[in-house]
Structure 1
Amino acid sequence: MNFLRKILFPFSLIYWAVTAVRNFLYNKGIFTSYGFPVPVIAIGNLSTGGTGKTPQTEYLVRLLSGRYRVATLSRGYKRKSKGFVLADTNSNADILGDEPYQFHTKFPNIRVAVDADRKNGIENLLSLSPGPEIILLDDAYQHRRVKAGFYILLTAYGDLYSDDFILPAGNLREGRSRAARANVIIVTKCPPDLSQQNQIVIREKLKPKPGQKVYFTCIDYDNAVHSEEGERSLESIKDESKVLVAGIAKPNPFFNHLQGKDDTALTFPDHHDFTQKEIEDINKQTKDKLIITTEKDFMRLKGRLPKKKLFYLPIKSRFLDGGDDFDKTLLDYVGKSTANR
């Protein structure tokens, strides 16, 4: 434990005590958790961010939306609207937040909603006609007021919750023991060639409870960058001088995948709301260069930078192995839950 963590550790004990009391009150039924008559799947983490929730949620949408009516419900972090909002043709990143707007843009066949009060959000979704058959709760692992039927806990390779401390000494929002609430644990952002032996070592560090499955995924980058007007292959732009823009929690893999010797990398905070001055500064730096950003940042930047210059790089979550088993586990839960309604 470094010097700063030693200083902050007493405050972490206070934070841990508060979260522990809260969870105790929910576990004992003193605080009420609400269940619902449709399968509710919560995707989240113990840490404060950077575990790859968005590509994992998109994986679930692709898996389920061809079989069921799917809805996603998010808090809508940093949105400028209030209360329950259902995405429609007038929606944008300011109304929904960047990640929900990304879901809405990519998957027009699903319902996308935002509400900080997840119970209220689910009730509003279920009042629709036709209502969703499955609800995916994005970043809702700590939202105990709603009792999900299936919990997916994410932890990033190289930043495992088992190696971390609770806030503010570390980045955990709950103690490590709360991982026991998960039905499955997914170690995200792994090297694509992660060996079976290294997977065994990580499983031993995570100490899953009996019956709790652990899976490993990596990020697959698209072989092209996309804009509102078309796409260009990575091969065709690798020797061009570019400006790379990222406002995500851990941007280094994005930069490492794209950056050439003459490229400029601009880093902003996660979910960054770009000011007009920042937009003007980006324009000045780019001149005739391409601007390549993450898909999430593209949701905030499109319409503010020239269409012909602004591109984004799509990503997907891919299981290193055991993907079929994960799919079956999830589909079995949904099938049984739907049959028991």
Structure 2
Amino acid sequence: MKILRYILFPFVPIYYIVTWLRNVFFDKGLLKSKSYDFPVICVGNLSVGGTGKTPMIEYLIRLLKDEKRIATLSRGYKRSSKGFYLADANANASELGDEPFQFYRKFHTEIQVAVDADRQNGIANLMQQKEAPELVLLDDAFQHRKVKAGFNILLSTYQDLYTDDWVLPTGNLREPRAGAKRANIIVVTKCPLDLSASEKARIIKKINPKPYQDVFFSFIQYGNEVVSEENKMAMDSLEEFTLVTGIANASPFVHHLKSKNLQFEHLNFSDHYDYTVEDIELFKEKSLIITTEKDYVRLLQYPDLKGKVYYLPIVIELDNPAVFNKKVIDFVAI
């Protein structure tokens, strides 16, 4: 795969120019963006792959759900449904997409959860609901510039900063690094818990934020129990199990489990992987499966796996939550 990326290097300038020109056209108004008279917050990234958008959206929901009627709006990647879809009691991961369904399953009637590849159309449909949202959280929409969010939160992982990357197809960037200027806040995610002040300063210098931008650092906090619909088990009580992951980067999860001296085999699949009949038959042979919450909501649809699949909950913590929270709350209050 790496060799192929190097072979495709001659296409990097083409991709760079096309995405750079697209942004210039939006910046100059040659391509139109739609603004709204209610708060819209976008959480996204410059790169492909997992930067922690889902736990950040959940963080914002917890922060703001008692203040505003919230709707999340996602593309609904790999879902079976088309167009605008608003989650209800009949929703599942297949029709809604795994991450949106995770939002709905976790917060249920406290928020509205919608999907639409056309974010303008999605917002228009949300505003037609009987109880229209007062705040829309856009999930993974940093490059969806037909909607002009009032507040942009850009995520980049500690191990793979966008400042060190190339655009596709050789690198992982969806657009040139200069696109970071659209962010109000930049969050370096998945940081080690012992990240030093000097290391933070080094990263901030590398990012070189604009005067209007703030840089924060976030950390994954893993739960002490694995959870299913019916049961919970303490992490330190686990014996041998099978770890199943279908996410962009399972390394932090694997590292955490190994740090607990747990014994497991790891079945690693690609991000948003569609589990096959053969996969499910293999899983049925396992006595205990631990997975991510995103994978868990997809595996829920298989009754034969009931009772043997658990997930490990995670939340994120920020290095300076009071300042971060105030900036978000101040925007929402405008």
Normalised to the residue count of structure 2, the TM-score between the two structures is 0.96
Partner residue, 2:100: 100
Distance (Å, rounded) in 1 between the aligned partners of 2:61 and 2:250: 24
Seen in structure 2, the aligned counterparts of structure 1 residues 78 and 5 have a Cα distance that, compared at 3 Å, is closer
Distance (Å, rounded) in 1 between the aligned partners of 2:89 and 2:301: 16
How far 1:67 sits from its partner (Å)? Answer: 1.0
CA displacement 1:7-44 (0-9 Å, x = unmatched): 33320110011111111111111111001121000000
Residue 296 of structure 1, aligned match among 294, 297, 304: 294
Distance (Å, rounded) in 2 between the aligned partners of 1:276 and 1:314: 26
Seen in structure 2, the aligned counterparts of structure 1 residues 281 and 197 have a Cα distance that, compared at 3 Å, is same
Partner residue, 1:231: 232
Partner residue, 1:246: 245
How far 1:261 sits from its partner (Å)? Answer: 5.9
How far 1:211 sits from its partner (Å)? Answer: 2.2
How far 1:129 sits from its partner (Å)? Answer: 1.6
How far 1:306 sits from its partner (Å)? Answer: 2.6
Aligned letter for 2:171?
A: G
RMSD of equivalent CA atoms: 1.3
Distance (Å, rounded) in 2 between the aligned partners of 1:244 and 1:264: 6
Give 3-state SS (helix, strand or coil) of 1:107's partner: helix
Residue 89 of structure 2 is aligned to residue 89 of structure 1: yes
Give 3-state SS (helix, strand or coil) of 2:160's partner: coil
Partner residue, 1:330: 328
How far 1:303 sits from its partner (Å)? Answer: 3.3
Q: Is the 8 A contact 2:283 2:305 kept in 1?
A: no
Q: Is the 8 A contact 2:47 2:172 kept in 1?
A: yes
Aligned letter for 1:13?
A: P
Q: Where do residues 189-338 of structure 1 align in structure 2 (5 Å cutoff)?
A: 189-237=190-238, 240-259=239-258, 260=261, 262-284=263-285, 286=286, 289-304=287-302, 305-319=304-318, 321-336=319-334
Q: Where do residues 130-169 of structure 1 align in structure 2 (5 Å cutoff)?
A: 130-169=131-170
Give 3-state SS (helix, strand or coil) of 2:159's partner: coil
| Identical columns (%) | 54
Distance (Å, rounded) in 2 between the aligned partners of 1:87 and 1:131: 14
Residue 16 of structure 2 is aligned to residue 21 of structure 1: no
How far 1:262 sits from its partner (Å)? Answer: 3.7
Aligned letter for 1:52?
A: G
Give 3-state SS (helix, strand or coil) of 2:305's partner: coil
Partner residue, 1:48: 48
Aligned letter for 1:332?
A: D
Mean alpha-carbon deviation: is it higher for 77-86 or for 295-304? 295-304
Q: Is the 8 A contact 2:85 2:114 kept in 1?
A: yes
Gaps of 5+ in 1: 337-341
Aligned letter for 1:328?
A: K
CA displacement 1:123-170 (0-9 Å, x = unmatched): 000111211010000000000000000000000001000000000110
How far 1:5 sits from its partner (Å)? Answer: 5.5
Give 3-state SS (helix, strand or coil) of 2:120's partner: helix
Seen in structure 2, the aligned counterparts of structure 1 residues 306 and 5 have a Cα distance that, compared at 3 Å, is closer
Distance (Å, rounded) in 2 between the aligned partners of 1:144 and 1:7: 31
Distance (Å, rounded) in 1 between the aligned partners of 2:178 and 2:244: 37
Distance (Å, rounded) in 2 between the aligned partners of 1:227 and 1:327: 31
Q: Is the 8 A contact 2:299 2:305 kept in 1?
A: no
Residues paired across the two proteins, number: 329
How far 1:6 sits from its partner (Å)? Answer: 5.0
Partner residue, 2:117: 116
Give 3-state SS (helix, strand or coil) of 1:187's partner: strand
How far 1:256 sits from its partner (Å)? Answer: 2.2
Distance (Å, rounded) in 1 between the aligned partners of 2:221 and 2:15: 36
Distance (Å, rounded) in 1 between the aligned partners of 2:66 and 2:235: 30
